[in-house]
Structure 1
Amino acid sequence: METLLKILAELRPDVDFEENKELVDSGELDSFDIVSLVGELCDEYDIEIGADEIVPENFNSVEAIWALVQRLQED
């Protein structure tokens, strides 16, 4: 998860990802951020994130993002 936090910090250094549990709902991450993040996650973790996975529930918190990564790595 340390690598994920680093990716997020590089993407949006102004956001406290460990505290905020509504990243999408609060507007901290917008659609451009999500597209950038998806690309970074796919490259870093060698996963494919399909369009059906790009929903707020999967990106609202660092824990949700990490759960998504882990689930896709298992597939």
Structure 2
Amino acid sequence: MEELLKILEELKPDVDFKNETGLIDNAILDSFDIVQLITTLKETFDIDITPADIVPENFNSAESLWAMVEKLQ
């Protein structure tokens, strides 16, 4: 989880990822951020993120992102 938080903080340093639960719903992450994040997650955690995984529920918070990463590992 710490590695994920580092990735997110590099992407958007001004966001409180530990507490934010509306990264998609509140338009904190845009489509370019999502593409960049998916690429980084694939490389860092050696996972395959399919189009079926790219849903707001998986990207709205650091916790939901981490749950997706763990599920795909």
Task: Give me the TM-score of the superposition, normalised by structure 2.
Answer: 0.98
> C-alpha root-mean-square deviation of aligned residues, in Å?
0.5
Number of matched pairs? 73
Aligned: 1:5 with 2:5: yes
Where 2:22 maps in the other structure, the secondary structure is coil
Where 1:6 maps in the other structure, the secondary structure is helix
Task: Give me the TM-score of the superposition, normalised by structure 1.
Answer: 0.95
Deviation at 1:14, TM superposition (A): 1.2
Partner of 1:36: 36
Sequence identity (%): 58
Deviation at 1:19, TM superposition (A): 1.1
Partner of 2:18: 18
Where 2:21 maps in the other structure, the secondary structure is coil
